[in-house]
Structure 1
């Protein structure tokens, strides 16, 4: 008889294995003929044979040896990946396998938390907090720095968390701010000689040693918490405060996917310039789309990055009447009540393309703004019938400007975020709900109709750029140093 917790362990393994397998199969493995429904691959570094079930979210990994095929649990898969990458690259890496194991442990803790917590009633919040798998092509998408669950679980969006922000008073002569941060002052009251500064409770715990002197000498004072809860979005360190219709993006000294999620000084110092460019690109509301502006940031000069908070526009001033915002990443992963469950795929897809693609291409072509238009930065407002009526984009930190990166590199980045990370995944989710659905003729029409030369060329290009998150992390490359490999282009005629 199986142990009572065996089903939970199998579910955690499956959630954690799928993105790791996606990375391994995309970046390393060589396809071989296999039985229907069980693709087989050769791992070139170790000359082993691997097979899985399924394609979009691979499962059930098995390795072949002299005794036949043997099932791998998540720990066995991590060991296999480490041995393969060590042999393939000649490099050792002890950090990434630990992150892979941590990601699986986080999933297990999230599943247990969900079993005792009701899902949010608000569909927008439900979509933001639905991502148990997370990034479908990252080897450790749910890692939380290796700490105990008690440290991070109260702040985990995937556990349907909600919590008040901590409130600090920062002595006026030490405050640093740029842009419009006035919305922060409505969150509480600072004593004379101080300015109000909200803080993420988890970050405040992580940064406690660095802040001890400032609390001791009065540069910082604790002012309790906000009167109302905020809830974390899919980005973990960004929270939404419904009472004030405001997003707050905090520093978080934890590695999540490829980066330590601190608000770095260099990004904060370019924030206004980038946000102004993105705001201008959306001023005419192309295809009804909107940009959620990052208005400015406030921090303390003695802890510039540790205590920084970015003020982001809420939804109220942008949403079309009668629409409901949903996170695109949540639509792809799935959540109860998702419109994809009942949608006519052709009509839904054409509406999605019409709302999401033209604004991103227009921002690039007319304004030199390269949106980071991936699934976690794209909100789709749906009408009463569940059809996409509007797109909203966010996060100035990930936006690039053509004078900074050059047109060719900027276009490659847009193709990766908009097409590979976004459209390919949404198309896959729709096809999963309606087998046989072909999304690409409609996508070709939208791209061909824009008039952008790069978009037209994309329709004949044999490949698309796929980011190599597994190899990037294994080789210790900077998280912002995107490296791409060619993927078959489903947009190309005849594919």
Structure 2
């Protein structure tokens, strides 16, 4: 490693430069930009594998130096901690240096612009795509600052105190930890975000519509296909119960004959009314508005899925906006995946899995519906809504937290929530901190990783368990169980189709989610390991609780023991444990070229190789 000389200011343990300690507004901006920098540069470095590590002699500061070849300059990125095979913690301010010239501080957005001006980075991106992407970077930075200003007083609770399901969902301030634009949400305005986005901790009413029965279609896991009248009757009954239990502002309203109630997200309903097809349906009386709900609903971490502590179901809507890599309009094939999850649960395979892992639950999505103009053969995807099981009612909403909130960076370089839980556990049990980390992490492996790996290896069931899809339950500070949600990210290997075909002969056809061995293993490992479990390792190691190397060795030993059991399919274990490289999603590439990930024909087109930290 090279050494350099650098004019670098001291920092206190808070992670704030001395000049910001007494400036509240500046501190908020600095903390927000710290989160944006961590997400952006980790995505950039992972996908380009560029940069050289150097050490500053005066401050003993470790820096990552990124060459700007076309402008004959270098970008210096100070590091608070270096992730060996996972994720770094960067530290503002950033610096740019001319060849043989002086150091100059550079603003975060300007540093992003310098990187995007280098055509050697992501050469397939056009000038127009780079300009559009830089604008999204600007929006994401601004949005992050708005979030931090709004939630500043909640930081102690979110990172240190007991929180319930709702608070954990709305406590994910940053979003994706390895993504260049984690807070990009076009075309949602700031005021709309304050009202509807989870990170602002808002609440709102949904809109209830009455829709002529011939103007909507639906499907239920219990009622057959969307073309059957029985399916529509089952879904209509589910919606009706929700409407009555939702304490509608019009509880005495009686539905006209041949009409059904239909829920709408208030933001999406505003967008839909701009389309002539919806206005025509309103004008003909095919739709009329019953009113707003009286119950409060709140966005979960995904924004388009909403939660009420009084409802047996969460609701997930199509929203005509772009978040991170995708336009968030649901597709019928994705809706059918949620129905299949419920049906699988009732099979011999599903019942056996539940007996083996009673503490791990897959949240099914047992019904969906969408509007359909009179006489049309297809529904309108922008109006899709699905029901998702809600086990987080009453006291069951306590002592749970999604993994992304556990691992997210603290804006002022303090410990993340997972690290603080481990420290509390160490104190409560009078354990050395490294012993406490290994005990806590072992419980995570047993209660979260093992059920998902066995679902894949013994039953051919693939659950895309990224950090926002995993909700962990705790008992006395230790992981005791988990929930997987979001059936869009479910699939089946050939093993799964073979085992389930006798009871579900049509499995995977309408849902289009049967994967060959290579595709299945690459995608499954990315979500459960690269995104989720490696992210947890990085979060724990970044604060000095235990080294990454020891935690990766512990994970490897655990997986080897699982592989050595009577597995039906060891191919995923072999790929994960023996490959020199794993394939990781390229969030930066996807964003800079403006790809809509949810509709790309080849999901692996944006994946890239990375060193495998489990190949020890």
Q: Does 1:352 align with 2:470?
A: no
How far residue 213 of structure 1 moved from its aligned partner, in angstroms, is 2.1
User: Could you tell me how far 1:376 is from its partner in structure 2?
Assistant: 0.5
CA–CA distance in 2 between the matches of 1:241 and 1:338?
28
Change (3 A) 1:139 1:357: same
Partner of residue 424, structure 1: 534
Give, in angstroms, the shift of residue 175 of structure 1: 2.1
- Count the aligned residue pairs: 491
Is the 1:29–1:43 Cα contact (8 Å) retained in structure 2?
A: no
Measured after TM superposition, the shift of residue 249 of structure 1 is 0.7
Report whether the alignment pairs 1:207 with 2:272: yes
Name the structure 2 match of 1:394.
485
CA, structure 1 residues 33+387, in 2 after alignment: closer, same or farther (shift >3 Å)? closer
The one-character-per-residue Cα deviations of 1:104-126 (angstroms, maximum 9, x if unpaired) are: 11112212222477968742222
Name the CA distance, whole Å, in 1 between partners of 2:326 and 2:403. 22
Change (3 A) 1:306 1:473: same
Q: Which has the higher contact order (CA 8 A, sep 6+)?
A: 2
Q: Determine if contact 2:163/2:399 at 8 Å carries over to the other structure.
A: no
User: Where do 1:320-469 residues align within 5 Å?
Assistant: 324-333=399-408, 334-335=416-417, 339-340=421-422, 342-343=424-425, 344-383=436-475, 385-403=476-494, 404-437=514-547, 438-451=550-563, 452-469=570-587
* 2:457 partner SS: helix
Q: How does 1:112-123 map to 2 (within 5 A)?
A: 112-115=149-152, 122-123=163-164
Pick which of 204-213 and 416-425 moved more.
204-213
1:304 alignment counterpart: 380
Tell me by how many angstroms 1:71 deviates. Answer: 2.3
Partner of 1:30, secondary structure, is coil
Secondary structure in structure 2 of the residue aligned to 1:196: strand
1:140 and 1:52 mapped to 2: Cα distance? 18
| SS of match in other structure, 2:89 | coil
Q: Distance in 2 between matches of 1:278 and 1:29?
A: 43
Deviation at 1:87, TM superposition (A): 6.1
Q: Residues of 1 paired with 2:469 and 2:182: CA distance? A: 16
1:191 aligns to 2:259 (yes or no): no
Listed one character per residue, the Cα deviations across residues 76-101 of structure 1 (whole Å, up to 9, x for unaligned) are 12312321257651522132112111
Q: Residue deviations 1:241-274, cap 9 Å, x none?
A: 2101321111111100100111123323454335
Of residues 459-468 and 46-55 in structure 1, the stretch that sits farther from structure 2 once superposed is: 46-55
Deviations 1:23-56 (A, max 9, x none): 1111125232401522223356666422222232
Q: Is the 8 A contact 1:265 1:304 kept in 2?
A: no
CA contact (8 A) 2:53 2:63 kept: no
Find the aligned partners of 1:260 and 1:450 in 2 and give their Cα distance. Answer: 38
Distance 1:468 1:336, change over 3 A: closer
TM-score normalised by L of structure 2: 0.74
Taking the aligned partners of 2:293 and 2:54, their CA distance within structure 1 comes to 57
Task: Indicate conservation of the 8 Å contact 2:421/2:477, yes or no.
Answer: yes
Cα distance in 2, alignment partners of residues 146 and 457 from structure 1 = 40
Q: Distance in 1 between matches of 2:395 and 2:533?
A: 23
- Select between 465-474 and 35-44 the one with higher mean Cα deviation: 35-44
Look up the match of 1:292: 363
Any conservation in 2 of the 1:129–1:233 contact (CA below 8 Å)?
yes
Give the Cα separation in 1 of the matches to 2:149 and 2:455: 43
Q: Distance in 2 between matches of 1:299 and 1:274?
A: 20
Give the secondary structure class of the aligned counterpart of 1:164.
Answer: coil
Deviations 1:358-392 (A, max 9, x none): 21112212332221111000111111x11011111
Partner residue of 1:470? 588
Question: What TM-score comes out, normalization by structure 1 length?
Answer: 0.91
List alignment gaps of at least 5 residues for structure 2.
1-18, 56-60, 83-87, 222-234, 245-253, 374-378, 409-415, 426-435, 495-513, 564-569
* Contact kept in structure 2, 1:157 and 1:236, CA below 8 Å: yes
Does 2:160 align with 1:50? Answer: no
Question: Which of 197, 200, 213 is 1:159 aligned to?
Answer: 200
Which whole-Å CA distance do the structure 1 matches of 2:152 and 2:560 have between them? 47
Say which SS state the counterpart of residue 18 (structure 1) adopts. helix
Q: 1:46 to 1:407 in 2, by over 3 A?
A: farther
- 1:63 and 1:356 mapped to 2: Cα distance? 43
Stretches of structure 1 lacking an aligned partner (at least 5 in a row): none
Residue 9 (str. 1) matches residue 29 (str. 2) = yes
Other structure's SS at 2:382 match: coil
Question: How far, CA to CA, are the matches of 2:326 and 2:464 in structure 1?
Answer: 16
Distance 1:491 1:169 in 2: 55
Deviating more after overlay: 336-345 vs 232-241:
336-345
Instruction: State the Cα distance separating 1:290 from its structure 2 match.
Output: 0.9
CA shift in 2, pair 1:299/1:478, >3 Å: closer
Cα displacement string for residues 370-418 of structure 1 (whole angstroms, at most 9, x for unaligned residues): 21111000111111x1101111111111112225220111001111001
TM superposition shift of 1:150: 1.1
Question: For the structure 1 residues 75 and 31, does the alpha-carbon distance in structure 2 shift closer, same or farther, using more than 3 Å as the test?
Answer: closer
In the superposition, relative to structure 1, how do residues 316 and 105 fare at CA in structure 2: closer, same or farther (>3 Å)? closer
Distance 1:81 1:426 in 2: 28
Q: Which has the larger radius of gyration?
A: 2
Q: CA 1:341–1:259 in 2, change beyond 3 Å: closer, same or farther?
A: farther
Q: 2:301 is paired with a residue of what secondary structure?
A: coil
SS in 2 for 1:345: helix
Counterpart selection for 1:69 from 69, 78, 103 = 103
Alignment of 1:490 with 2:609, yes or no, is no
- C-alpha displacement of 1:350: 0.3
> Which of 62, 82, 85 is the aligned partner of 2:116?
82
Deviations 1:179-234 (A, max 9, x none): 15343222225612321111111111222212222222211111112221121111
Cα distance between partner residues in 2 of 1:405 and 1:133: 32
Structure 1 residues 27-42: aligned runs within 5 Å: 27-35=47-55, 36-42=61-67
Mapped partners of 2:307, 2:392: distance in 1: 12
CA 1:147–1:295 in 2, change beyond 3 Å: closer, same or farther?
A: closer
Question: Residues 400, 337 of structure 1: CA spacing in aligned structure 2 closer, same or farther, 3 A cutoff?
Answer: same
